[in-house]
Structure 1
Amino acid sequence: MDKTLEIECLTNLAEGDHRSYELLFLAYHPKVYHFLYGFIKNEEEAYDMAQEIFYKVWVNRKTMGEIKSFKAYLFTMARHMIYNYYEHTLVKEKYTLSRLAQSETYEPEQDMFAKDLALLIDLVVSQMPEQRQRIFKMSRKEGFSSDEIASRLNIHKRTVENHISKALSDLRKALQYISFLFF
């Protein structure tokens, strides 16, 4: 867009002329978009940012008549948007890292609770019939599949699944009872 037409469009835009806005948008939106995309390498984000820049142009249209170089104005806005984008990304990354660090902090209460829970599970399992104990341990502690357990014990796969289901049901009942007593 030549300088004379640009100044005329900016003056008309300041008076609320939609057609002038459209001309400026069509002339500069692709350039702003490509500038933004060159830095952030995210098409959707670059497009949204370019849209936001032109939205701000429309909202602040009354001041557009004072601008001497619309291109410089747009690219200054784009540069600030890029700074904000990276600043926001940095804040998100710091937050994510802090959340990860918090989740990895050692808490003795959690460790104690996990040990107590493991003891409770072992106690409940030890009260189960021998075949159910064996199948449950092979499944949950040794990591065998139902097919592997059935093959090793020479029983039907469905029998293995029934034993595991009953074992888990016994554990649920015990955990419900314990949680009722303590919580």
Structure 2
Amino acid sequence: MAAESVSELERLTRKFRPPLIAFFSRRVTGLAEAEDMTQEVFVRLMRTQANIEETSAAYIFRIAANLIKDRARHDLVRRHFADAVRSEGGVGIDPFDPFRIASARESISVLWAAIQALPEPTQQIFILYRVEDIPKQTIADNFGFHLRTVDKHISRALVFLARRMRQQA
């Protein structure tokens, strides 16, 4: 950016900053937000390929009006999302509740300890099938087992893990 356009931008900033802050202050909740939106007007003005010297007040306030519209659209989307979350039956439940996070971590620790306690071929087969998502036939071929044997190992693992999880609860 040339020095002339920087000084012209400074001139525009001095001239339009107070009226823009007043414009935004009437339309947003706080002065800090009005300041941020005023700054965004000048950022957008710098990004345009238009000649800064020929920038009119109408053009600057059109940018400001568009920012207000963008903000309103953004707020509307957030409200719709919040309404959708509330209507899904999770009313009053914070998905990031520290107790729920700690409880889930504890459950995962118990589950992992139970998986580690499985007999060796059952443990490997269970991890390959349930964690790594490898088809039963591939597991059977690699272990040299029949498909029914792999099914039995997976069933035993599930029963063992369910019992362990119930004991810990």
Question: What's the TM-score once normalised by structure 1's chain length?
Answer: 0.46
Higher radius of gyration, 1 or 2: 1
Bigger helix share? 1
Question: What's the TM-score once normalised by structure 2's chain length?
Answer: 0.49
